[in-house]
Chain A
Amino acid sequence: NAGVTQTPKFQVLKTGQSMTLQCAQDMNHNSMYWYRQDPGMGLRLIYYSASEGTTDKGEVPNGYNVSRLNKREFSLRLESAAPSQTSVYFCASSEARLAGMYYNEQFFGPGTRLTVL
């Protein structure tokens, strides 16, 4: 099992460009998440998807959109990149069924390092 995979690993954009970060998991998990990690800020949730067909905002959603394409894939789109979006982006997944949603650990992808000039 590959677990959680993310593409690309690195990306440099100019201000105003758009791009989509891809995430896929092969663990048949219901829930998927996008985080950004900035120095001194820890992991902050951008968007999450509780199940296929649903998405919801996290703590820092502005400037991002997401698509839960199917149960395996959850993509994050930057429509018009800004330097403030320079960060490391992590995708994660968890089983998180209603009965156990507090107890299931999250599994993280390897991250995408994005620089916006």
Chain B
Amino acid sequence: ILNVEQSPQSLHVQEGDSTNFTCSFPSSNFYALHWYRWETAKSPEALFVMTLNGDEKKKGRISATLNTKEGYSYLYIKGSQPEDSATYLCAFPNAGGTSYGKLTFGQGTILTVHP
């Protein structure tokens, strides 16, 4: 079973604060690292799929970086807004010819942005 860990488990910030959280994953057999955003009462939606060491991806105020050698990725949110409140999940693809897109998810970081 792959070990994908996220920290912190939960985070409370004020509107306008910038914040970041971490996903750690096995550094061997790296293919990709996925980030998903999951709003309450909705379904998870993909934010980024990161593949290259040193990669940085950005979508609006959210960005992510990747370090495959040490096995971690950071997700940053600049100037948090209440609508950023969600659970942020990272996921690590399982290797092997029969795994076909299987992902192991971390337990998520629950972000609450207070107005």
Contact = CB atoms under 8 A, between A and B. Distances in A.
Are chains A and B native binding partners rather than an unrelated pairing? yes
Interface of A: 4, 30-31, 33, 40-45, 48, 50-51, 56, 58-59, 90, 94-96, 98, 101-111
Contacts, number: 73
Interface stretch (B55-63, B65-73, B76-84, B103-111): B103-111
6 contacts: A50-B100, A59-B1, A102-B93, A102-B95, A103-B51, A106-B103
Contacts of B97: 98
Interface of B: 1, 31-32, 34, 42-46, 49, 51, 89, 91, 93, 95, 97-108
Contact of B34 (A40, A48, A101, A105): A105
Among B1, B45, B97, B102: residue with most chain A CB under 10 A: B102
Contact of B101 (A40, A50, A59, A109): A50
B1 A101 contact: no
Contacts of A41: 107
A48 B94 CA distance: 13
Contacts of A56: 98
Given A105-B46, A108-B45, A42 B98 contact: no
A59 B105 CA distance: 11
A42 B89 contact: yes
Given A42-B89, A103-B31, A105-B34, A58 B44 contact: no
Nearest to B4: A42
Given A96-B100, A102-B93, A106-B103, 17 more contacts: A4-B43, A33-B101, A33-B102, A42-B89, A42-B106, A43-B105, A44-B105, A45-B102, A45-B104, A51-B100, A59-B1, A95-B101, A96-B101, A98-B97, A103-B31, A106-B44, A109-B43
Given A41-B107, A42-B106, A101-B93, A106 B43 contact: no
